[in-house]
Copies of this chain bind each other. A is one copy, B any other.
Amino acid sequence: MKEIFDRIVPAPSLTEVTANRIRDAITTGDLPLGHKLSEQRLADMLGVSRSPVHDALAILQSEGLVNISPKRGSYVFTPDLKEVDNICEHRALLETGSVRRAIARNKDKLVAGLQSCVDEMEEALRVNSSTDYTRGDLRFHETIVRASCNRSIASAYKRTISPLIALRTHLFTIMNANIERSLDEHVELLDACKRGDADLAAALLEDHIGHLIEAYRQELSSQTGFEDAITASR
């Protein structure tokens, strides 16, 4: 049968909406790293009962954004360098796997999507807006993963990278120090996708994410309070 309808997407549940709002507050930095989270206070601020807040915190715990301790309460996560390394490596695996599949299955849509992200990032650099740059950058990587046409990979990716997005906001100097190199790397990656060179695209992505790991490592080690995490991870 000809497809005359787009499928109706069910509305998200109250728990999902609550989780999305708290996740946004963590990734944008409104709720800082290590901040104590009171279920009652969050419920009051969001205008909901405690039950969806409770469920939302459990979801965010599974994403690594929230630590829940039965005795001490719930807190926004604090970065542990070993964990950040692991998440970056996991991210690289999902993105390199996705770019290979996207080039094989969906090249034109992939290239068009990445081009629009690069345009957004170039404009952001021109007007010196690191917020807009970050948005374009995140959209660039999401475009790669979505173009793999694999919902299972895409949903795991979304659950995996939230702590990296939050760290990026928190360690804001990373972006400003490396923004020119970052843009060059994205443009190179787009060119590899245009030429349909999946091996090169995957290798460039590995390098790009490797540079981010270095930046996190340097930035975390230069901040007070993270020495223990860094020592423990070596």
Contact = CB atoms under 8 A, between A and B. Distances in A.
Nearest to A64: B152
Nearest to A54: B55
Contacts of A86: 150-153
Given A70-B13, A97-B97, A152 B58 contact: no
A156 interface: yes
Interface of A is mostly: helix
A44 to B, nearest CB: 21
A70 B12 CA distance: 10
Contact of A55 (B55, B64, B89, B93): B55
A83 B160 CA distance: 20
Interface string A71-100: 000000000000100110110011001000
A89 B58 contact: no
Interface of A: 10, 13, 15, 54-55, 58-59, 62, 64, 69-70, 83, 86-87, 89-90, 93-94, 97, 101, 150-153, 156, 159-160
7 contacts: A10-B69, A55-B58, A58-B59, A86-B150, A89-B150, A90-B150, A93-B94
Closest 5 CB pairs of A and B: A93-B97, A90-B152, A86-B152, A86-B150, A90-B153
